[in-house]
Amino acid sequence: MNASGHPAVPIPILMYHNIARLPREVKRNRSLYVNPGAFARQMWLLHRLGYTGLSMSAAMPYLRGEKSGRVAVITLDDGYADNLDAALPVLQRYRFSATCYVVSGALGQHNTWDADKLSVRKPMMTPTQMRAWHAGGMEVGAHTRTHPHLTQLQPSRMQDEIGGCKADLENLLGQPVSQFCYPYGDMNEHVAEAARAAGFDAATTTRRGRARAGMDLWQLPRVPVVRQHVLPQFASRILTGYEDRRR
């Protein structure tokens, strides 16, 4: 039961990266790409099943157990320009909101952390594009300044990556930034405490599973959505305990 007396309903926090066609030169981590047509069908299915797609901030009352309902949280990691081009119109069509976790030091640049491995430079949103995402009814979350492995950093550098990203984005937006995501899902209790101390309301990991009210808000699991998923697979990850068993 949650705080309002309703049964606790699993809350899938969907994890996306690129909403774009797969470039031919990408040979590794091809699953990071979800075709725009597939993304549109997934959002249609959520709507058809009676789900409301929410940003992390909009979902906080559900994650805290203050409200109950058929909701799915939509998150996109890194801040790619294709999120604005391909995802925003679809989200607006269904009156959904979503959170894009932005690497503040990469705005207007490319994916320096994995471009060599993927053999492709993927354009990141510029500050102007990020503001357009926000103005379109979506949320900007923080994903550090440079996308490092946080557990490998000295405490002062780790705090700068986390809190510095928050300050960078708030200065650019003129709005509070209250949500955080750990690059690579690389985190431990010390990193989670740093995110909480920096003033974030919640933080997401790459640990698999659906969230539930009462979970640690700074160590929330997510449901990865990858290129290979067809609609029945997508639905099973939302509606069943499949991802919970993968935790």
What single DSSP character describes residue 184? G
Give the other-Cβ count within 10 Å of 74's Cβ: 28
Report if residue 2 sits inside a domain: no
- Residues paired with residue 11 on neighbouring β-strands, in sequence order: 211
- 200, 154, 195: which is closest to 176 by C-alpha? 200
- Give the pLDDT score at 128: 98
Report if residue 195 sits inside a domain: yes
Write out the H or E segment, with its range, that includes residue 221.
Answer: strand 220-224
∠ CA 14-56-202, rounded to 5°: 105
- Give the pLDDT score at 110: 97
Q: Find out whether 84 and 132 touch, Cβ atoms under 8 Å.
A: yes
Specify the CATH number for the domain of residue 52. 3.20.20.370
| Inter-CA distances, 236 with 180, 198, 219, Å | 27, 36, 23
Report if residue 177 sits inside a domain: yes
Report if residue 61 sits inside a domain: yes
Report if residue 7 sits inside a domain: no
- Give the pLDDT score at 26: 80
Q: Find out whether 207 and 184 touch, Cβ atoms under 8 Å.
A: no
Its sign, for the CA torsion 13, 16, 19, 22, is negative
66: which residues sit within 8 A by CB, 6+ positions away?
2, 3, 4
Q: How many domains does the chain divide into?
A: 1
H helices of 54-104, in order, are: 56-63, 81-82, 88-93
Task: Supply the range of the domain harboring residue 84.
Answer: 13-245
Report if residue 196 sits inside a domain: yes
- Give the pLDDT score at 5: 53
Distance CA 92, CA 47 (A): 12
Residues of the chain with pLDDT under 50: 4
Report if residue 118 sits inside a domain: yes
Q: What is the pLDDT of residues 182-216, one digit of tens each?
A: 999 999 999 999 999 999 999 999 999 999 999 99
- Give the pLDDT score at 83: 98
Report if residue 41 sits inside a domain: yes
- Give the pLDDT score at 3: 52
